[in-house]
Amino acid sequence: MRLTAKLTMLMAVLAVSACTNANRFDNGAVDLNAATGNAGGILPGSASDPSSPAYFQQTVGDRVLFAVDQSTLGPEARSTLDGQVQWLLTNSDYNAVIEGHADEQGTRAYNLALGARRANAVMEYLIAQGIPSSRLRFVSYGKERPIEICSEEACYAKNRRAVTIISAGLTG
């Protein structure tokens, strides 16, 4: 029981620190740090604009983490996803692609399938909370796209992730 609590704490810390990292795979061209100091207040599209993908990534939290070889969403993950649901409901012009990832401790094909399980777990949660499935799709990168490159649990924990990437809506 105490171990579970500790793990949850750890995951929470990791999730927070992950939020401060720019996502290498985000194809948004917005300068995430150029927002403040504008005389009128909020610069549209900047991280301080609550309707911007940058805000989603930095403030709402674009990723959830998983235990080794698991695709179950813990309380921390569900809390992050609840924030994503609110944002997606408010900003209905946007779609999302959920990327599933695994750490390097596994074979290539299995990790592709495992990443798909993780991304699908997120997608199903978002759908269950009211996001239309037409706005969502997922893709797995398996162990091909780590964000942390050490071969230790500290890195592996951040690589076992599902990242929600906001994209402009295909319709409208």
Partner 1 sequence: MKQIVASLLAVLILAVSAPGVVLAQSGPLRIEITEGVVEPLPYAVPDFVGETAGAQQLAQQIARVVADDLTGSGLFREVPREAHISQITSFGSPVQFADWKAINAQALVTGAVSSEGGRIVVKFRVWDVFAGSELGQGMQFAGTPDGWRRMAHKVADQVYSRITGESGYFDSRVVFVSESGPKDQRSKRLAVMDYDGASVQYLTGGNALVLAPRFSEDGQRVLYTSYETGMPRVHVLEVGTVQSRILQGQDGVMSFAPRFAPNGQTVVYSLTQGSNTDIWAMDIASGGTRQLTSAPSIETAPSYSPDGSQIVFESDRSGTQQLYVMSASGGEARRISFGQGRYSTPVWSPRGDMIAFTKQNAGRFHIGVMRTDGSEERLLTASFLDEGPTWAPNGRVIMFARETQGAQGSSSLYTVDISGRNLKRVRTPEGASDPSWGPLQ
Rounded distance, CA 48 to CA 108, Å? 39
Residues 165/113, Cβ–Cβ less than 8 Å: no
List the one residue from 113, 128, 154, 168 that touches partner 1 (CB under 8 A).
Answer: 113
Whole-number minimum distance, CB 64 to partner 1, in Å? 15
List the one residue from 146, 160, 163, 164 that touches partner 1 (CB under 8 A).
Answer: 146
Contact track, partner 1, 4-23, x by CB under 8 A: --------------------
For residue 53, state whether it binds partner 1 (rule: CB under 8 A): no
Segment interacting with partner 1 (CB under 8 A) among 45-53, 55-63, 82-90, 103-111: 103-111
Q: Would you give the DSSP letter of residue 36?
A: T
Type of residue found at 43? L
For residue 105, state whether it binds partner 1 (rule: CB under 8 A): yes
Structure tokens at 81: 């996803």
For residue 147, state whether it binds partner 1 (rule: CB under 8 A): yes
Can you list the positions of beta strands (E) in the chain? 63-65, 94-101, 136-142, 161-168
Q: What element of type H or E holds 93?
A: none
For residue 171, state whether it binds partner 1 (rule: CB under 8 A): no
For residue 169, state whether it binds partner 1 (rule: CB under 8 A): no
Residues 3/13, Cβ–Cβ less than 8 Å: no
Rounded distance, CA 165 to CA 101, Å? 13
- Give residues in contact with partner 1 (CB under 8 A): 24, 71, 104-110, 112-114, 116-117, 120-121, 124, 137, 139-141, 144-151
